[in-house]
Amino acid sequence: MSTRQIAVLVGSLRKESFSRKVAHNLIELAPKSLELAIVEIGDLPLYNQDLETETPPQAWQAFRDRVRPAQGLLFVTPEYNRSVPGGLKNALDVGSRPYGKSVWGGKPGAIVSCSPGHIGGFGANHHLRQPMTFLNVPLLQQEAYLGSVDKLIQADGKLVPATAEFLGKFMQSFAAWVDKIAGG
């Protein structure tokens, strides 16, 4: 069975963001059948249909070219004001266009949200799910809300063991999900 390429989207642009650290852990925790790489979203101009000419912004094109060949999607995101960070939603919007050329359709996905508070980004997590129906991204129906995330990451950047174990299982489920959806 071949390796699956997974595009990882991180919802925070802060260099030392918890979400990015969690993403790096998830990449290490993943089974060998998945090859994960972060696709950056921080330099994407805000979506504006007027820019959707024959020469759209270079950053849009590069982003679309990065996501298009991926066989799965992993979202790791904080919550901004009880919803998806604007920057991450913008990446979804950019990738969904131009009309009829969405890069998302049919790719299996999974969502991990995190926050320093105790709610673990529940609001962002579920708001991110709603577009996935329209974008035809079949989602792993498992929950990963990392509350008090600042206490779950150790000085060396590694997750505490209990969380690593939890997310290791999550990534195994995701790998099985990718296999099921992407086929044999």
19 makes contact with a second copy (CB under 8 A): no
C-alpha 60/C-alpha 39 separation (Å) is 12
Strand partners, 133: none
Which of 28/117 has CB closer to a second copy? 117
Q: How far is the CB of 116 from a second copy (least distance, A)?
A: 12
Q: Which helix (H) or strand (E) holds 20?
A: helix 18-29
Which CB sits closer to a second copy, 56 or 131? Answer: 131
Q: Please report where in the chains the tokens 């298009």 appear, as a residue.
A: 68
**Minimum CB separation from a second copy for residue 118, in Å?**
5
CB-CB contact of 131 with 88 (8 Å):
no
Longest dimension (CA), the chain: 50
| Binding string, residues 49-88; x marks residues near a second copy by CB under 8 A | xx-----------------------------xxxxxxxxx
Q: Tokens standing for 7?
A: 């595009």
Partners of 72 in beta bridges: 6
Q: Of residues 96-135, which lie at the interface with a second copy (CB under 8 A)? A: 96, 118-120, 122-123, 126-127, 129-135
In this complex, which beta carbon is closest to a second copy, that of residue 14 or of residue 28?
14
Q: For residue 123, what is the enclosing H or E element?
A: helix 122-134
Where does this chain bind a second copy (CB under 8 A)? Answer: 12-15, 17, 42, 44, 46-50, 80-94, 96, 118-120, 122-123, 126-127, 129-139, 141-143, 145, 147, 180-181
